[in-house]
A and B are shown apart, each in its own frame.
Chain A
Amino acid sequence: MRTVKLGLKSLMLHKLRSCLTTAGILFGVASVIAMLAVGEGASKEALDRFRDMGVTNILARSVKPPDTQQSSSQSAFSAMAYGLLYSEADLVQSALPKAKVVRVREVQRPLMRGEYFRTTIVVGTETDFIEVTNMHISEGRWLSEVDDQTLSNTCVIGASLANTLFPLENPLGQTILTGNDDRYVVVGVLEYQGRAAGPAGTTYDECMFIPMSTSRRRFGEEVSTSSGGSFKRERIELNEVKVKLETSEEVESAAHIMRDLLLEAHKQQNDVEITVPLELLKQEEASKRMFNIVLAVIASISLLVGGIGIMNVMLATVTERTREIGIRRALGAKRKHIIQQFLVEAGVLSALGGVVGVLLGMLVPIGIEAWFAQKTIILVPHVLLAFGISAAVGVVFGIYPAWRAANMDPVEALRHE
């Protein structure tokens, strides 16, 4: 403890120089802490998103094929057909008998409730949907088999949609009007999800859910859109097939089967996309590992630079204080005492840089979070590690200067001016 105090005292001899020396360590530590925090935050966001998609799920989506000559040669009246078919969903189900296969049809419709109005996606789907997407009912009930069999005009609505259409009343039992005068009775409201895992552009919080059979009956397979004066018709049976497997071990082979089944058939039009959240999760984990390696390299380089700075200053200090070393040796200091003295000084120097660096490194993510809305996470082990390593750097790079100090001839050292 006394050695540390005396070390600090010696450092105070050259305040500016000590500060400048620690700057290398300081900025090294600060940038590593900040980058770790940002990386950790970004990665957690991605991992959460993929986890929300369900790690035992495989999602096949219909995507609009890129405009080919086929579509331009089509007459305005014949619809462009693309995407997943009912029959393909059945094929998937028979290939994966133990899996839950959920068909999803998405149609954009204006919804009205009294004076409240909202254009959103009406999702036609099946009873397993809620389990596959891991959503929960907050009020009422989810769609049942009976609803599907009877083609009933019942619906379940997302939390945000409920707020929009029923700002004041309880939505349960109320009716919602779709554009073509269809009425749907609300039987349930979903819990708020707050995640992006919904049909393109929206979240399920904004959606209305109705039985698959009802959707098929009411909306059919053809969609008309008019854009920029031209009138287009599309024919699409299913927007998505969600498959939930019992365990994540089955995902790989099931993904293989589904790719064989679906992608082959849609190779021409390239209108089906298969997303395997588990694969994305693994990719993200791999890229995070890569990020960490890169970060470790950057950290090593900056600590190396900082360490060299410390070594440089310690060498200068040792030369400057040659006489002091001689005096101490004359007064009974052994070599180990001199080594200890300069190691402690180097360690204190870089640990100081480490402390300030850690503080700065913790401030930067706060700023980033405020200005860029980028989630950041500071992990305690990272902070401790950064601090520990920075102190260790000082000691390691202090070894040679300390060794030089200790091995001076006391007579020569005393003679030094």
Chain B
Amino acid sequence: MTQSPMSDDRKVIAEFVDVHRHYMMGTNVVRALNGVSMQVRQGDYLAIMGRSGSGKSTMLNLLGCLDRPTSGQYLVGGRDVSQLDDDALSDVRGREIGFIFQSFNLIPQLTVLENLEVPLFYQNRVGPESRAKAEHLARRVGLGGRLDHRPLELSGGQQQRVAIARALMNDPLFLLADEATGNLDSNTELEILALLDELRAEGVTIVIVTHNENVALRADKTLWLKDGEVEQLVDNRLAQTGGGAS
């Protein structure tokens, strides 16, 4: 499924329009993001890279609606969310975004099933259906028999699988992964990346923030940040093809 970047008619599901995020440090202004524009289309697999301090985390927080831009627009599914209040932003997170964290972030006192149901709980959608869905997704990530386990009874890779299943529970517009394999050994990392590849092949949109180039190369495109600005947007397939030719 190769698409030319010139004639892309897939739906834009997340879009930054000249987004700034400035922090006040005393009298200094830190321009963590300084006029970033970019689009994520349906089915995209986008990696965001950059050196430390380049603005990756800031961008992730904005993409995840955990934070609001100082100026500019952020459109999620075509709707500008940059000015929404806390409750409305919570709703956008709960309905449109699937979070995957570096440290898994499962809730320790809850079982796998209960962890999976948390996103739906806040939308009052917990019931037999959510249970069925949790079972389905647990099987999908290869943990069908572990619904009653506690997170600490699982290995790191298994926990991250649960987290991925949890991120899918609300049928999000896109998955937002923050250094999703940073806490895993290299074998497990490959397994998780393979799982993301599968999801991606099923049409799930993925945005992953990483500083690991091998992880980034799994994505179609890599957006490089530098000093809060977009340095370049690299099409990895072209780059890889180029690499293979030489």
- Please report A residues at the B interface, Cβ cutoff 8 Å: 2, 6, 9-10, 12-13, 323-324, 326-337, 410-411, 414
Is there contact, CB below 8 Å, between B105 and A327?
yes
Contact B118 A328 (CB under 8 A): yes
Interface 9-mer from B35-43, B60-68, B71-79, B185-193: B60-68
**Closest 10 A/B residue pairs (Cβ):** A332-B94, A332-B122, A334-B90, A331-B119, A327-B105, A410-B66, A333-B122, A330-B99, A334-B87, A332-B93
Cβ–Cβ contact B107 & A332, under 8 A: no
Which residue of the partner chain, among B87, B94, B114, B126, contacts A331 with CB atoms under 8 Å?
Answer: B94
Q: Is B217 an interface residue (CB 8 A)?
A: no
A331–B122 touching, CB < 8 Å: yes
Complex alpha-carbon distance, A332 and B167, angstroms: 11
Bound-state Cα–Cα, A9 to B108, Å? 10
Query: Can you list 24 contacts pairing A with B, beta carbon distance less than 8 Å?
Result: A6-B110, A6-B114, A10-B109, A12-B109, A13-B108, A13-B109, A324-B108, A326-B105, A329-B93, A330-B99, A331-B99, A331-B119, A332-B123, A332-B170, A333-B90, A333-B122, A334-B86, A334-B87, A334-B91, A334-B122, A335-B86, A410-B66, A411-B61, A414-B101
In the complex, the answer to whether A9 meets B99 with C-beta atoms within 8 Å is no
Q: Which of B95, B108, B109, B166 has the most CB of A within 10 A?
A: B109
Residues in chain B near residue A323, CB distance under 8 A: 105
Given contacts A12-B109, A323-B105, A414-B105, whether A332 and B90 have CB atoms under 8 Å apart is yes
Residues of A within 8 A of B118 (CB): 327-328, 331
Neighbouring B residues of A333 by C-beta, 8 Å: 90, 94, 122
Please name the residue on chain A nearest to B122 by beta carbon: A332
A12 CA / B110 CA spacing, docked (Å):
11
Output the least CB separation between B127 and chain A (Å). 11
- Contact residues of B between 140 and 182, Cβ < 8 Å to A: 166, 170
How far, in whole Å, are A12 and B119 apart by their CA atoms in the complex?
23
Whether A332 and B109, one on each chain, are in contact in the complex, defined by CB atoms closer than 8 angstroms, is no
Chain A residue at minimum C-beta to C-beta distance from B87: A334
* CB-CB under 8 A for A332 and B95, given A10-B109, A12-B109: yes
Smallest Cβ-Cβ distance to B88: which chain A residue = A334
Q: Which of B93-116 touch A at CB < 8 Å?
A: 93-95, 99, 101, 105-110, 114
Q: How far is the CB of A192 from chain B (nearest CB, A)?
A: 64
Q: Give the residues in chain B near A327, CB-CB below 8 Å.
A: 101, 105-107, 118
Chain B residues closer than 8 Å to A329, beta-carbon distance = 66, 90, 93
Least Cβ distance of B169 to chain A in Å? 9
Give the docked Cα–Cα distance between A178 and B106 (Å): 94
Instruction: Determine the distance from Cα of A327 to Cα of B159 in the docked complex, in whole angstroms.
Output: 15
Q: How many residues of B contact A (CB 8 A)?
A: 28
Report how far A332 CA is from B118 CA in the complex, Å: 9
CA distance A206 to B64 in the complex (A): 90
Q: Is the CB–CB distance between B121 and A2 below 8 Å?
A: yes
Chain B residues lying within 8 Å of A334, measured Cβ to Cβ, are 86-87, 90-91, 122
Given A331-B99, A331-B122, A414-B101; A324-B67 close (CB under 8 Å): no
Cα A323 to Cα B102 in complex, Å, equals: 13
Nearest B-chain residue to A11, judged by Cβ = B109
Taking the closest CB of chain B, its distance from the CB of A225, in whole angstroms, is 82
State the Cβ distance, B121 to closest chain A Cβ, in Å.
7
Residue of B nearest to A335 (CB): B86
CA distance A12 to B150 in the complex (A): 14
Q: In the complex, which residue of chain B has the Cβ closest to the Cβ of A337? A: B122
Can you add 14 more A-B contacts, CB < 8 Å, to A334-B122, A335-B90, A411-B67? A6-B114, A12-B109, A13-B108, A327-B101, A328-B122, A330-B64, A331-B118, A331-B122, A332-B95, A334-B90, A335-B87, A336-B87, A337-B122, A411-B66
Bound-state Cα–Cα, A336 to B95, Å = 17
Roughly how many angstroms separate A411 CA and B166 CA in the complex, as a whole number? 19
Select B109's contact among A2, A9, A326, A411, beta carbons within 8 Å. Answer: A9
Complex contacts, A326 vs chain B, CB 8 Å: 105
The CA of A335 and the CA of B89, in the complex, are separated in Å by 11
The answer for the CA separation of A328 and B91 in the assembled complex, in Å, is: 12
> Please, how many angstroms separate the alpha-carbon atoms of A80 and B93 in the complex?
100
Closest A residue by C-beta to B123? A332
* Inter-chain contact A330/B66, CB cutoff 8 Å: yes
Q: Which residues in B have their C-beta under 8 angstroms from that of A328?
A: 107, 118, 122
Q: Which residues on B sit within 8 Å (CB–CB) of A13?
A: 108-109
Complex formed: what's the CA distance from A2 to B86 in Å?
24
A10 vs B110: C-alpha distance in the bound complex, in angstroms?
A: 9
Q: What is the CB-to-nearest-CB distance from A288 to chain B, in angstroms, rounded to a whole number? A: 48
Enumerate chain B residues within 8 angstroms of A337, measured Cβ to Cβ: 122
Q: Which of A2, A9, A414 contacts B66 (CB 8 A)?
A: A414
B122 neighbours in A (Cβ, 8 Å):
328, 331-334, 337
A245 vs B99: C-alpha distance when bound (angstroms): 85
Are A9 and B90 touching (Cβ within 8 A)? no
Interface centre among B90, B91, B107 (most CB of A within 10 A): B90
For residue B105, which residue of chain A has the nearest CB? A327
Contacts of A332 in B (CB 8 A): 90-91, 93-95, 119, 122-123, 170
Cβ-closest chain B residue relative to A327: B105
B93 and A331 contacting across the interface, CB-CB below 8 Å: yes
CB neighbours (8 Å) of A410 from chain B are 66
Bound-state Cα–Cα, A142 to B90, Å: 87
CA of A328 to CA of B110, assembled, Å: 12
Q: Which residues of A contact B110 (CB under 8 A)?
A: 6, 9
What are the residues of chain A within 8 A of B119 when measuring CB–CB?
Answer: 331-332
Chain A residue contacts of B66, Cβ below 8 A: 329-330, 410-411, 414
Instruction: Report the bound CA distance from A140 to B116 in whole Å.
Output: 85
Contacts of B99 in A (CB 8 A): 330-331
A328 to B117, CA, bound (A): 11
Q: Closest CB of chain B to A409's CB: distance in Å?
A: 8
Chain A positions within 8 Å of B166 at CB level: 331
Contact between A2 and B94 (Cβ–Cβ < 8 Å)? no
Q: How far is the CA of A208 from the CA of B68 in the complex (A)?
A: 96
- Which residue on chain A has the smallest CB distance to residue B99? A330
